[in-house]
Amino acid sequence: MEYVNWIRMEDGTEEEFAQIMALEEKVNADLVDRVLDHLRLLDVGWGGYRINRYQHSLQSATRAYNDDAGVEMVVAALLHDIGDSVSPYNHGELAAAILKPYVSERIHWIVANHCIFQGYYYNHHLGGDRHARDRFIDHPWYEDCVYFCHNYDQNAFDPDYDTKLLDFFEPMVRQLFAGKSKHLELNLEPA
């Protein structure tokens, strides 16, 4: 079968959907390469910072790795700003969406909300509320997100930090993304 016989999903057969899923798996075989290519898009000037977002991402991951944070957290630190190039005002949600099928709910939540928590370090300088994160103060992962931002994000702009290269992290990204995707379960959960 080159194409399905339907133009509305409701008319599809089990056989057709099995074939489509097999074809999608072939397309998704290079998902990690596409994700890493997208991360590399951050390797451009980024007005005012001493390092760019790509270098910041590598440094964040290096800090998590040096903290023995585990593969999920190291990859999350590496990819936490991946959405900056296409979704700068909610890049955390975009990064979390990319990671969701492969990480724990805790790490997904941290990445999704890191932008709000990161504001603690600068919102007050821009007329905003540095304590905006406190609306989550009773959340079980509040302190984890505070820790992530304090130890892996806000301090990862040092041009002299001994930062590992992407080649070091690529096996970890491949390992994480090789884990069983929760494709069907994710489709059952409300957004």
Q: What is the pTM of this model?
A: 0.89
Topology of domain 32-179, CATH: Hypothetical protein af1432 (1.10.3210)
Asked if residue 1 has pLDDT above 70, the reply is no
Q: Is 76 left (phi over 0), alpha (psi -120 to 50) or beta?
A: alpha
> What's the pLDDT at 142?
98
Q: Helices (H), strands (E): how many in the chain?
A: 9, 0
Q: How far is Cα of residue 101 from the mean position of the Cα atoms in its chain?
A: 11
Tens digit of pLDDT for each residue in 115-146? 999 999 999 999 999 999 999 999 999 999 99
Instruction: Output the CA angle 151-156-159, nearest 5 degrees.
Output: 145
Nearest-angstrom CA–CA distance, 74 and 175: 12
